[in-house]
Amino acid sequence: MSRPAKRLVIVESPAKAKTIAGYLGRDFVVESSIGHIRDLPNRASEIPEKLKKEPWARLGVDVDHDFEPLYVVDADKKQRVNDLKKKLKEVDELLIATDEDREGEAIAWHLLEVLQPKVPVRRMVFHEITKDAIDRALGETREVDQRLVDAQETRRILDRLYGYEVSPVLWKKVMQGLSAGRVQSVAVRLVVERERERRAFVSASYWDLEGVFDPGSFAARLVSLDGKRVAQGRDFGQDGELKPRDAVVLAEAEARELAEQLAGAAYAVRSADEKPYTRRPAAPFMTSTLQQEASRKLRFSAQTTMRVAQRLYENGYITYMRTDSTTLSETALAAARTQAAELYGPESIPSRPRQYTRKVKNAQEAHEAIRPAGDAFRTPKSLGLELNRDEHALYELIWKRTIASQMEDARGLTVSLRFATTTSSGRVAEFGASGTVITFRGFLAAYEESRDEEQPANEQAESEGERPLPHLAVGDELTAIELDSQGHATSPPARYSEASLVQALEERGIGRPSTYASIMGTILERGYVFKRGTALVPAFLAFAVTSLLEQHFAQLVDYDFTARMEDDLDRIATGGEERVAWLK
């Protein structure tokens, strides 16, 4: 009787190998490469003897011969490669199960190049590590996608050329040992430009009146005086000048005098508008929004978020965490809807599943949003004993966001009130208030998206929404219980946090899901930026390097140029552009 075929499965990490091994039978050997096994040389000692005299060897890219890269196996990976070669001799088939993105595809290709297998090879891909997903992947294998490999290789060569071109200039002009990176330098420039804006900012002072009114004990603010709008913070420019010509700026003396004249006055309602209010749930997480929300809600850095998410993925709790898709699979839609109905009642879900599509710039990344793994989601409560504190907090965030994404809109009423009186000196003072009453919580029962704390205080106050107002009709009378004159000053634009910097990069089309966390880590570790609370503050070094790059390498720190380059790399990944022709 012939023995069953023995198969070797190679993944990137030991944790992933352990989880997958638990789902496969005894006929499978699961090993890990522990990340990349080879790369361009970093030191002269890594260059093979026969190539040491070549002028391009130190660069690691033969620019004159179709940008041919020189790859060397890392010294600390040589033993691993030998172990994998030995294992390969004992099996009948090789399955490469690295991640389903550029990096994973490149690792798969490098493994084949180094191991030179004599047995049949298949590439298996999945974006969650569950028994069903692994079984499905075994039945739907494919070849290594050379286009993805080309895209990753082009990116790597480009980064090497960039660094070798720019870094020596930085060493000479600024400081030894500095590095410049294609995306990192642009990220630093964003932080520096924000700091320049803050330094150039001219604060403006303005006063207004705020009061508490009955019936209903609600707060309202002076909105117009003699028919002219009273200026607020948003009406002033960065130069401290008033933008709208028709607004009136109250000085301290005028505001105090007005408050005295209004003491004991009776107010009449001029308008009471009610409009229906609806708020839609946010889409399920992709990499950038997960990093932003974990920063706001959990105080995690981008790197902490990705480290914890990687553990959750590798141990089978969530889907793959590097993605720019907000799509959910049919089974995930069903799971989220079922769970929402069970927890919050059948009325909490709409009649049809909600679909979230976005214009994905790069179709190469994994093709589903980040969500709990499996065809039925495990509740955070049920995982209390399996996960550590950080893992549990991040899983709960992902779970809540996924469930909420399939729930009904929050509904209610937004009320806007305007009421006025005439002062003893004959001036018409009009106050305004608006508030929202939620009549049906919908998705808010499960999850509410956070706002950036960096919003200036004057803008925060103006964006406050959900507060009830009394039902009043035109002509109804009101009295002021309290009335205060208040002084304000406009605030400079807020410094970036990790969350808002990731958002700024993403909005400009710079960087990709797999790179945001490492960009944040690099600019902090290399001393370009430091943290004050959650704010990213540029060091003197950041100003020096950014100024130098702007003067001598303007294109390399140009936002549009960097974004176009990302798009070109994406076209290489989809076969729309040829690698060597593009590099030339």
Is 459 a residue whose pLDDT tops 70?
no
Q: Please classify residue 468 by burial: count the beta carbons closer than 10 Å to its beta carbon, then call 0-12 exposed, 13-18 middle and 19+ buried.
A: middle
Q: Give dist(CA 402, CA 370) in Å, integer.
A: 8
Better-scored residue on pLDDT, 460 or 564: 564
Q: Give dist(CA 129, CA 366) in Å, integer.
A: 14
Q: Give dist(CA 559, CA 571) in Å, integer.
A: 19
Residue 169, pLDDT score:
86
Q: Homologous superfamily of 150-198+494-583 in CATH?
A: Topoisomerase I, domain 2 (1.10.460.10)
Residue 406, pLDDT score:
97
Q: What proportion of the chain, given as a percentage, has pLDDT over 70?
A: 95
| Four-CA torsion 374, 379, 385, 390, nearest 10 degrees | 90
**pLDDT tier at 3, thresholds 50, 70, 90:** low
The DSSP symbol for 494 reads: P
Residue 452, pLDDT score:
59
- Domain edges within the chain: 7-37+74-144, 150-198+494-583, 205-270+422-489, 287-405
Residue burial 221-249, b: 16+ Cβ < 10 Å; e: rest: bbbbbeeeebbbbebbeeeeeeeeeebbe
Residue 447, pLDDT score:
86
Element (H, E) at 269: strand 266-279
Residue 141, pLDDT score:
93
Per CATH, is 7-37+74-144 categorized as 3.50.50.60?
Answer: no
Question: Which tens digit of pLDDT belongs to each residue from 298-330?
Answer: 999 999 999 999 999 999 999 999 998 899 999
Question: Which tens digit of pLDDT belongs to each residue from 387-442?
Answer: 999 999 999 999 999 999 999 999 999 999 999 999 988 899 999 999 988 899 99
Q: Give dist(CA 36, CA 104) in Å, integer.
A: 9
**pLDDT tier at 584, thresholds 50, 70, 90:** confident
User: In 3-state terms, what secondary structure has residue 270?
Assistant: strand
Q: Which of 211, 221, 209, 203 is nearest to 250 (CA)?
A: 209
With left for phi above 0 and alpha for psi between -120 and 50, is residue 457 left, alpha or beta?
Answer: alpha
Active site residues: 320
DSSP 542-567: HHHHHHHHHHH-GGGG-HHHHHHHHH
Better-scored residue on pLDDT, 463 or 371: 371
Q: Homologous superfamily of 287-405 in CATH?
A: Topoisomerase I, domain 4 (1.10.290.10)
Global confidence as pTM: 0.89
In a 13 Å sphere around the CA of 174, the CA atoms on its Cβ side amount to 20
* CATH level 2 (architecture), domain 205-270+422-489: Distorted Sandwich (2.70)
Q: Which of 424, 418, 388, 408 is nearest to 304 (CA)?
A: 388
Residue 460, pLDDT score:
42
Q: Which of 501, 503, 558 is nearest to 528 (CA)?
A: 501
Question: Which tens digit of pLDDT belongs to each residue from 173-216?
Answer: 888 878 788 889 999 999 999 999 999 999 999 999 999 999 98
Q: Give dist(CA 440, CA 413) in Å, integer.
A: 10
**pLDDT tier at 365, thresholds 50, 70, 90:** very low
Q: Give dist(CA 166, CA 427) in Å, integer.
A: 65
Is 359 a residue whose pLDDT tops 60?
no
Q: Give dist(CA 354, CA 333) in Å, integer.
A: 8
The DSSP symbol for 570 reads: H
User: What residue has token string 């009610």?
Assistant: 274
Residue 451, pLDDT score:
67
Residue 361, pLDDT score:
52
Question: Which tens digit of pLDDT belongs to each residue from 39-90?
Answer: 999 888 888 888 888 889 888 999 999 999 999 998 889 999 999 999 999 9
* Topology match between the domains 150-198+494-583 and 205-270+422-489: no
